Amino acid sequence: MKKLVLFTLATLTAALTAPAHAQFRTPEAAIKYRQSVMTVQGRAFYGSIGSMVNGRAPFDAKAAAESAELVRMLSSLPWTAFGPGTDKGAPTDAKPAIWSEQAKFKDLADKMQAEVGKLTAAAKTGNLDNLKVAYRAAGETCKSCHDAFTSQ
């Protein structure tokens, strides 16, 4: 897990040092980027933490804290990849409402990031009950955005 975190951080740091307009040469590149970020984030959130919270895997406080930190870091990354023209091109589950309801989309993204911050803090306590509460709250914010803005 630690190697995945370090690799992800290195890759994303390199990508983020370029200006947003230089990061994505095509709408397809932006779509692929945001999908990749969300895939890694989902695996850390639902796969790693979710497995522990739902009893499918034994609770490992260190792994939970590492996964929560990865989710927190990734939670700020996909939003620049929802720029003009990224509603078409590569296959995407994004609904047109993302571009017509930008304020609502941003509000839900901000709420998710706030709850993920709480998840990270809860994971650092090493207490499974704290993690469960924060996990459910963060999951609800993810769900509300996906319900409104994706076809998944």
Each residue's pLDDT tens digit, 76-123:
999 999 988 898 877 889 999 999 999 999 999 999 999 999 999 999
Number of domains the chain is built from = 1
Whether residue 119 is contained in a domain is answered as yes
* Mean pLDDT for the stretch of residues 48-56: 97
Structure letter (DSSP) for residue 48: I
Whether residue 5 is contained in a domain is answered as no
| Element holding 63 (H helix, E strand) | helix 61-74
Q: What is the pTM of this model?
A: 0.83
The proportion of the chain whose per-residue pLDDT surpasses 90, expressed as a percent, equals 75
Q: How far apart are CA 86 and CA 36, in angstroms?
A: 15
Residue 17 has pLDDT above 50, yes or no: no
The proportion of the chain whose per-residue pLDDT surpasses 70, expressed as a percent, equals 86
Q: Which domain holds residue 54?
A: 24-78+97-149
Whether residue 17 is contained in a domain is answered as no
CATH number at residue 38: 1.20.120.10
pLDDT at 11: 57
Own/partner long-range contacts of 116-123 (Cβ < 8 Å, ≥24 apart): 116/68, 116/71, 116/72, 116/75, 117/72, 119/49, 119/68, 119/71, 119/72, 120/65, 120/68, 120/69, 120/71, 120/72, 122/68, 123/49, 123/61, 123/64, 123/65, 123/67, 123/68, 123/69
pLDDT at 151: 87
Whether residue 7 is contained in a domain is answered as no
Whether residue 40 is contained in a domain is answered as yes
* Mean pLDDT for the stretch of residues 34-55: 96
